[in-house]
Every structure is written in structure tokens, then in C-alpha cells.
Amino acid sequence: MSTNQERRAEARQRLREQMEAQARREKQLKIAAASIVVAVLAGIVGVVVWMKAEENRAEEYAANWVTCEYPVDTTTPEKLDPAEFKDQGEDVVAEVRKFNAQIDTVEKTKRDAEPPTGDQPRRGTAEIAVTTDRGEIPLTLDRAGAPCNVASFVHLAEQNFFDDSQCHRLTVSEKGPGLSVLQCGDPTGTGLSGPGYSVVDEPPTDLAVAEDGSGSTIYPRGTVAMAKSQAPNSAGSQFFLVYADSTLPPEYTVMGTIGEPGLKVLDDIAKTGVKSDDQANPDNQVPKRPITIESVAVTAQSGLPEQ
């Protein structure tokens, strides 16, 4: 039978064991809590790193790609009633009848094309060969300044949209920077039609200001730009080739430049002139000798971002 002294010793031993067990449990809880904290912190760091990586990817994507809108545009001007213009003279009536005939031509010969789909590259160049019956006009289009318009032009060329069409407008400036361009891109040859969709304006920001105080800018010789009406975002497929410095409001999207062989072709076309030298005559901006685009081909592309 245990003595009181032995019983007290056993009690003290049990107490020590219980205290040691409690200490071990507390240590295990602290380790577990620390592990949870580390795991949570690692998760937070992982989320932050992932979010930063996603942000960087988004910024890189936005720097390389742009979302372009190409609204449907199937509007055709309505015919006019010649009788309403009789009091303005036979010349005006004749112009109205010519306009109505052009609308008939549009309805018979209009071509519709599909716009580009998906996001478009913000950088890279496209080499274009415009083959006419007067010679080849090489173009270099730069997406950096006009990604949506260049994408549309390249896409139209790949659909053979421009093939077998007439350049309908030629302007000849006698003195100083006026307007010296050849305008093409309407398969109907009337200047009233396009591809069935419109393209957003991407106006230039680096052209020299004209010295006449008008607020216009100089589109230098060798410029390729998109034609449009006075309404914003009204460009389609029509474009103009500048063969001599020209004064225009800075509203026309610049797509690129014309190669030297093409400028020689344009100089030759300009020398042939227009049907009438009278600026009041509607034939004043009609090429004296018809100019046919036989084909427009994309011969090379470079510098495009990786998808």
C-alpha cells in the first residue's frame, strides 16, 4: 500500500505529464496557425502576382491590338426631280440628270464586301501593288497611324474588291499647294458608293500646318489617304493618292506612302489632265483619259504582333 509520500509523488508526476501534454498541444496549435498564415499569405501573394501578370498581359495586348467597328452603310443618294431645277437653267438640269444616271449606275454595279472581323494589329506594314493600265503604283501602308483603316483596305484587297474599277476623280492644282490627287476605290466609278460599311476616322496628328491661316494642313506628295464625305466616320473604300503637296483639313486618315515608281505614274496621269479646265464644269475633275485599276494585291506584310 502506497504511502502518502508516494501518492504525492505520483500526483506531481501526473501533473507534469499533463502540463507537458498541454504544452505540446499549444505548440502544435501555434505551428498549425503559423502554417495557415503562411498559406494565406502565399495565396494572397499568388493572387497579387497573377493579377499583375494579367494586367501586364492586358496592357501588352492593348498596345498591340485594337477593336475596330465597321458599321453597315448601305445608303445610296436619292434621285432628284429635274423639273424642280428648271428655273436654274439648262446646265443645272443637265447636272441633275447626270447625277440620276450615276445613281442608276450605282444600283447596277455596286459591290458589297465583308468588313474585317476580330481585333486588328496596331503595328506592322503592308506592301500593296496597285496595278493600273497606266503602270504599277506601289504603296506602303502603316498600321501604326491608322490600324482600322489599313485593316479594312488590306481586307478589301484580299477580296479583290478594287479589281477592274475606275479612278473616277483627278484634281489638278495650277499654283502652290491646292489639291493634287487621284481618287479611286469606288467600283461603280461614280464616287457615290463604297463597300457596304463605313470606317472610323483616324485623323493624322503630325502634318504641317498650311501657311494660309485657314487651319488646314499639308498632305505631302506621296501620301495615301482615305476619302470621305463631310460627315464624320464616313470613309469606306475610296482613297486618294497625293502626287503634289495638297492643302486639306486634317480630317482625312493617312494610311501610308506611295513608292517612287508610283509617283512617276501619277505624274504622267496628271499631265494627261482632266476633261475640262472650267472649274464650273462637272467634267473639271474627270480624268481626260480613263484610268483603270486592274488589280490591287497585298504583296507582303511585316512587323505584325504575335497573336
Domain boundaries, the chain: 4-64, 110-302
**What span, in angstroms and rounded, lies between the C-alpha atoms of 113 and 197?**
8
Q: What is the CATH architecture of 110-302?
A: Beta Barrel (2.40)
**43, three cell numbers:** 495565396
Is 109 exposed, middle or buried, given 0-12, 13-18 or 19+ CB atoms closer than 10 A? middle
Q: How far apart are CA 68 and CA 202, in angstroms?
A: 11
Residue 57 has what pLDDT?
A: 65
Res 55: pLDDT: 65
pLDDT of residue 21: 72
Q: Return the biggest CA–CA distance within the chain.
A: 143
pLDDT in tens, 166-196: 999 999 987 767 899 999 999 999 999 999 9
Rounded distance between C-alpha atoms, residue 173 and residue 122, angstroms: 35
Tell me the whole-structure pTM to 2 decimals.
0.81
195 near 156, Cβ under 8 Å? yes
Tell me which residue of 257, 173, 248 sits closest to 207, measured CA to CA. 248
Residue 8, pLDDT score: 74
Splitting the chain (307 residues) into consecutive groups of 10 residues, what average pLDDT does each group show? Answer: 70 74 75 73 72 68 90 85 89 88 90 94 97 98 97 98 97 84 97 95 94 89 96 96 96 98 98 89 91 98 90
- Around 256, how many Cα atoms within 13 Å sit in the side-chain half-sphere? 22
pLDDT value of residue 285: 93
Q: Residue 201: left (phi > 0), alpha (psi -120 to 50), or beta?
A: beta
Q: pLDDT per residue over 6-33, tens digit each?
A: 777 776 777 777 777 777 887 777 777 6
**What is the 8-class DSSP label of residue 246?**
E
Cβ neighbours of 263 (radius 10 Å): 19
Helix residue ranges, H only, the chain: 4-64, 90-109, 147-158, 260-272
Per the CB < 8 A criterion, the answer to whether 179 and 173 are in contact is: yes
pLDDT for 56? 66
Return d(Cα 235, Cα 240) in angstroms, integer: 11
